[in-house]
A and B are shown apart, each in its own frame.
Chain A
Amino acid sequence: MTPYWDEEEPEEDAAGTMVRPYTITHGRTAPERDDFSLITVLTTAGEPLDEHGVPLRAGRLQPEHRMILDRCRRPAAVAEVAAGLDLPVSVTKILLADLVGQGLLLARAPLTVARASGGADMGLLAAVRDGLRRL
């Protein structure tokens, strides 16, 4: 019989993650603001750059923050940013909130389409229909 101390411990981070996700957020598990949805669209704000093209206020930013700012030069939804960073949505939202809070990132909330509040308007639906027809 195998003595218990010979039993192998499951290796941590076997999937190859080098940094535990909440280390990136300094242990924070909730964003500063809680109004991000999966399809909130983010756009990097125009920001002052120094002579090397580095954002002037980037001193306190982590690599992930910079990756987000780079990614969102073309508008991207929260879900897309998370997929691109390979981070869970909840961790991504914390980082996004940091950047929105500093004015480096602009957030656009999804359109209101709930049936209870009148549903999507006809103009929106017609635009979607026209777009789909081009597929």
Chain B
Amino acid sequence: MTTSQTAPAAVKILVAGGFGVGKTTLVGAVSEVAPLRTEEYLTKASVGVDDLAGIGQKDTTTVALDFGRITVSPELVVYLFGTPGQERFWFMWNDLVNGALGGVVIADTRRLDTSFASIDFFESRDIPFVVAINCFHGHNTRTAEEIRAALDLDPHVPLLIGDVRLRPFGRDVLLALVDHLMSLPAAAG
């Protein structure tokens, strides 16, 4: 009898959006474990020629990533990564994007503009995504059509409105992403 288990395959989904919009909340709502936090050092060497504005004179700084997991089957685990909200850390996304099935952009109708950049990012990297409008503050006076127009959202991108604290909503958002992925024409065989 061998002592090593067969490792499951892993995929990841990115959860993006402006600062404080509910990324970790959504991850926590659907994850089978409380969201974990891991840190990565950023050094001048590792950022290369990227813009260091905002990092100031420090030689190193850290970026925290919150993530959770959903064991789909013994053979397959989905990891959900909340992506750093601050724009100055977005060069990190290149690593995050590798192997990502798709993304979720969370937006708050009171400050939709803070999620524009996440949408731009996914669009420019050809990463399929859905938009989840978080209204846990109970403030949603805008219709889906108004929000779509304000976000300049492509008509085929799914948009859901709900409370990211609730597991059923988080599940529906992820299911909408998977359905969206299945509906896309295959890029190749």
Q: Do A and B bind each other?
A: yes
Q: Which residues of A contact B (CB under 8 A)?
A: 21, 29, 37-47, 73-75, 77, 79-80, 82-83, 88-91, 106, 108, 110-120, 122, 124-133, 135
Q: Which residues in A have their C-beta under 8 angstroms from that of B52?
A: none
B97 CB to nearest chain A CB (Å): 9
Is the CB of B12 closer than 8 A to any CB of chain A? Answer: yes
Q: Is the interface of A mostly helix, strand, loop or mixed?
A: mixed
Q: Which residues in B have their C-beta under 8 angstroms from that of A124?
A: 11, 76
Is the CB of B126 closer than 8 A to any CB of chain A? Answer: yes
Q: Which residues of B contact A (CB under 8 A)?
A: 2-12, 30, 36-41, 43, 45-46, 62, 65, 67, 69-73, 75-79, 81, 95-96, 98-101, 126-128, 167, 170-171, 174-175, 178-179, 181-182, 184, 186-189
How distant is the Cα of A39 from the Cα of B6 in the complex, in angstroms?
A: 15
A117 CB to nearest chain B CB (Å): 7
Q: Which residues in B have their C-beta under 8 angstroms from that of A47?
A: 3
Contact A38 B4 (CB under 8 A): no
Contact A113 B189 (CB under 8 A): no
